[in-house]
Amino acid sequence: MTAFVVPATAGSLSAYDYSTMLDCLIIGDSIAIGTHQFRPECVAYARSGITSHGWNKLFGNNLLAAETVIISLGTNDWEGANTYAKLREIRAKITGKQVFWIAPNQTSRPLVYQDVNTIAGIFGDEVISTNRYQQDKIHPSWAGYRELANKSRIKSGQ
C-alpha cells in the first residue's frame, strides 16, 4: 500500500486543494478488502480483523483525503469498545468530496449499524448496504461486494 498523508495545514474540506487528492480511498477491515476487489483503482488501507481502535492506532495520526472515501469499520469491535467515539474520531480525520459508509448487517451488528448511520448523518455522508451475505451473515457475498462497489461508483460518478 502506498501511504498518502494530507499536510497538517490542509485543515477543513473547504480549504483543501482538491488537485492533490486521491481519486478513491477505501479504509477498514476485511469487508473493505473485499470491496477493494471490485474497486481496484482505489488505494486501500485495510486489514482483516482490525478493530476501529486498531485502525485508529495504525492510521489515526494521518489526515486522509480522496475524492471518494469508502469506510468499513466497527464490525470487529467488541461490546464496550466505544465504537461510536472511535468511528467519529476516524471520520473527523477524513477529507473527501463523497464519503460512503458500508453499513454492517443490521441483524448481526445492530449497535454498529446505528453508530454508522448516526455518524454518516452528522457528516452528510452516504450509507450503502447489501442484503447479500455469506453464511456468517457478516461478510457480503461476492455479489454483495460487487453491489457495494457499484453503489459507490454510481453515486460518486467514478
* pTM of the full structure: 0.86
Q: Say what percent of the chain tops pLDDT 90.
A: 75
Pick the residue with more confidence: 19 or 29?
29
* Phi, psi (deg, nearest 5) at residue 12: -80, 165
Q: Could you tell me the CA-to-CA distances from 117 to 4, 73, 110, 112, 126 in Å, in that order?
A: 27, 12, 11, 9, 9
Q: pLDDT tens digits, residue range 37-93? A: 999 999 999 999 999 999 999 877 765 899 999 999 999 999 889 999 999 999 999
Q: Give the number of residues written for the chain.
A: 158
* Domain residue ranges in the chain: 21-156
Q: Which pLDDT value is given to residue 18?
A: 58
pLDDT at residue 5 tops 70? no
Q: What is the secondary structure of 2-17 as a DSSP string?
A: ----B-GGG-SGGG--
Three-state secondary-structure class, residue 115: helix
Which contiguous run of DSSP H or E holds residue 64? strand 64-72
pLDDT band at 24 (very low <50, low <70, confident <90, very high): very high
Tell the CATH superfamily of the 21-156 domain.
Answer: SGNH hydrolase (3.40.50.1110)
